[in-house]
């Protein structure tokens, strides 16, 4: 493996000089932009936006959007001059993907949040929604679907699949009409399947659990 040289030169660019990558596969919701904006307001810039030689963002789309939302006229930028086009494309994906494999230690996170709360820090400034932060501080952590399901009444859905299916090919509309008369059913032009004997198709959309008022 060839190690890249540690040559992190940071420049200050006008915010509108930076260009987003039009094929960025990572979708960025407004909630993420708001959290990064809160972080920038609290801590300032600690990571530059990485761009290629043409000024197109490699890493830092959310930081750039947050800077725009805050009305910042300039942003810190690092130009990835020593990366090839393929490396830049791979880096864009890797920067977003590698963080997805990490998980929180709920107990240690609770301790850290308690310490921050004692110092007056808002959970939003560290990336948590207000409700999430309060849940962590209360020791609730993340929801456990298996635990929440305990004690729920069982929902038995009967088997509504057909006993047997066959494909019937008709020569013309007259043949369709004759077949309908034979089995005592109306076969409309939009019909794609029928039941014999005819029966109402079961619907289960309303069979779901809801919170009691």
CA–CA distances in Å: residue 67 to residues 27, 36, 48, 196: 17, 9, 11, 64
CA dist 75 and 68 (Å) reads 10
**Which residues are CB-contacts of 132 (< 8 A; sequence separation ≥ 6)?**
123
Least confident of 71-80, 148-157, 166-175, 181-190: 148-157
What per-residue confidence (pLDDT) applies to 198? 79
Number of helices and strands in the chain (H, E): 7, 4
By C-alpha distance, which of 60, 14, 73 is closest to 33? 60
* Bond from prior residue into 197 cis (ω within 30 degrees of 0): yes
SS3 160: coil
What per-residue confidence (pLDDT) applies to 131? 47
What per-residue confidence (pLDDT) applies to 200? 66
CA dist 160 and 201 (Å) reads 8
What per-residue confidence (pLDDT) applies to 120? 79
Question: Does residue 104 come out as left (phi exceeding 0), alpha (psi in the -120 to 50 range) or beta?
Answer: beta
What per-residue confidence (pLDDT) applies to 3? 46
Residue 134 CA to its chain's centroid (Å): 23
What per-residue confidence (pLDDT) applies to 105? 82
Least confident of 33-42, 67-76, 136-145, 183-192: 136-145
CA–CA distances in Å: residue 138 to residues 53, 120, 122, 161, 184: 48, 16, 15, 47, 65
Name the helix (H) or strand (E) containing 12: strand 11-14
DSSP E strand boundaries for 24-180:
49-51, 57-59, 74-79
Query: What's the rounded mean pLDDT across residues 16-41?
Result: 91
By C-alpha distance, which of 131, 155, 157 is closest to 143? 131
Report the predicted TM-score, pTM, of the whole model to 2 decimal places.
0.58
Domains belonging to the chain, first-starting first, are 11-101 (3.90.1530.10), 113-144 (no CATH), 163-198 (no CATH)
pLDDT tens-place string over residues 64-76? 999 999 999 999 9
Query: What's the rounded mean pLDDT across residues 169-186?
Result: 90
By C-alpha distance, which of 150, 157, 160 is closest to 208? 157
DSSP E strand boundaries for 104-193:
none
What per-residue confidence (pLDDT) applies to 138? 52
pLDDT tens-place string over residues 133-164? 455 555 555 556 666 677 777 767 677 777 88
């Amino acid at each position: 493996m060839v190690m890249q040289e540690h040559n992190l030169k940071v420049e200050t660019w006008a915010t509108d000089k930076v260009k987003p990558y039009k094929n960025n596969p990572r979708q960025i919701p407004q909630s993420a932009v708001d959290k990064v904006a809160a972080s920038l307001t609290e801590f300032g810039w600690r990571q530059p936006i990485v761009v290629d030689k043409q000024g197109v963002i490699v890493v830092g789309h959310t930081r750039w959007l947050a800077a725009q939302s805050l009305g910042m006229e300039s942003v810190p930028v690092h130009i990835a001059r020593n990366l090839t086009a393929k490396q830049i494309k791979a880096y864009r994906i890797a920067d977003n993907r590698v963080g997805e494999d990490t998980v929180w230690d709920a107990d240690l996170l609770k301790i850290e949040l308690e310490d921050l709360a004692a110092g007056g820090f808002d959970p939003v400034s560290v990336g948590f929604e207000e409700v999430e932060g309060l849940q962590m501080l209360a020791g609730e952590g993340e929801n456990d679907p298996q635990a929440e399901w305990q004690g729920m009444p069982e929902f038995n859905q009967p088997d509504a699949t057909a006993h047997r299916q066959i494909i019937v090919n008709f020569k013309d509309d007259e043949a369709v009409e004759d077949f309908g008369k034979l089995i005592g059913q109306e076969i409309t032009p939009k019909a794609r399947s029928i039941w014999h004997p005819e029966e109402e198709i079961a619907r289960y959309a309303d069979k779901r659990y809801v919170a009691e008022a």
